[in-house]
Structure 1
Amino acid sequence: MAVIGKVVHISIDLVLVSTALAGIRRSAGLTLAANDPSSAIYSTAKQYLEVGERVIDYVQPWVANSKYFKRE
């Protein structure tokens, strides 16, 4: 049971890091630089960062309709 808990904890941490990187990408306009965009590492990193993009796309409408946040 402890192993499952650690796997879940690490998975959530990885999603949070991916979401933070996606937020940086959106606010600063930075993208992933690669010498060989066809490599397996590049495609894996791109898929990892797309997880954060999807989380932001899911959370943003919820936050926009929340009474705890407002647009400035």
Structure 2
Amino acid sequence: MVVRNPHCSPRGLARQVPESQRAELTVLQLGRVAHYAFDAVLISAFLAGVRRSTGLTPSVKSEQFTEAPGLKKWIDNYLWVGEWTMDQSVAVLSSSSYFERKR
């Protein structure tokens, strides 16, 4: 039998923590969200690199997303972020003296 302690949940923990330490919890939560966002952009940039080097891209056909019409647009925007990240990375790295283009 599993007994759950309500004080271990984030909401229960926030009620127990003094007001002065609640800001620290918020900063930790913000850091976690930033970490997940960075990981999502990194995966999107990886998919953009795969697309540019091999031509393979995730299949986003409209008949697969009939239940959620906004999902296709969300996926397209997500993949666009990866393309933009790749473009910016190539621009910065090509202007650096630490990288050179070999053909």
TM-score (norm 1): 0.86
RMSD: 1.6
Q: 1:19 aligns with which of 45, 54, 58?
A: 45
Aligned to 1:67: 97
Distance 1:61 1:35, change over 3 A: closer
Aligned to 1:45: 75
What runs of 5+ residues in structure 2 fail to find an aligned partner? 1-26
Percent identity over the alignment is: 36
CA distance in 1, matches of 2:46, 2:80: 12
Residue 86 of structure 2 aligns to which amino acid in structure 1? Answer: I
1:8 aligns with 2:8: no
Structure 1 residue 43 displacement after superposition: 1.4
Distance 1:56 1:35, change over 3 A: closer
Residue 36 of structure 1 aligns to which amino acid in structure 2? Answer: S
CA distance in 2, matches of 1:34, 1:9: 26
The one of the two structures with greater contact order (alpha-carbon pairs below 8 A, sep at least 6) is 1
CA distance in 2, matches of 1:53, 1:65: 19
After the TM superposition, list the runs of 4 or more consecutive aligned residues in structure 1 that deviate by more than 3 angstroms. none
What runs of 5+ residues in structure 1 fail to find an aligned partner? none
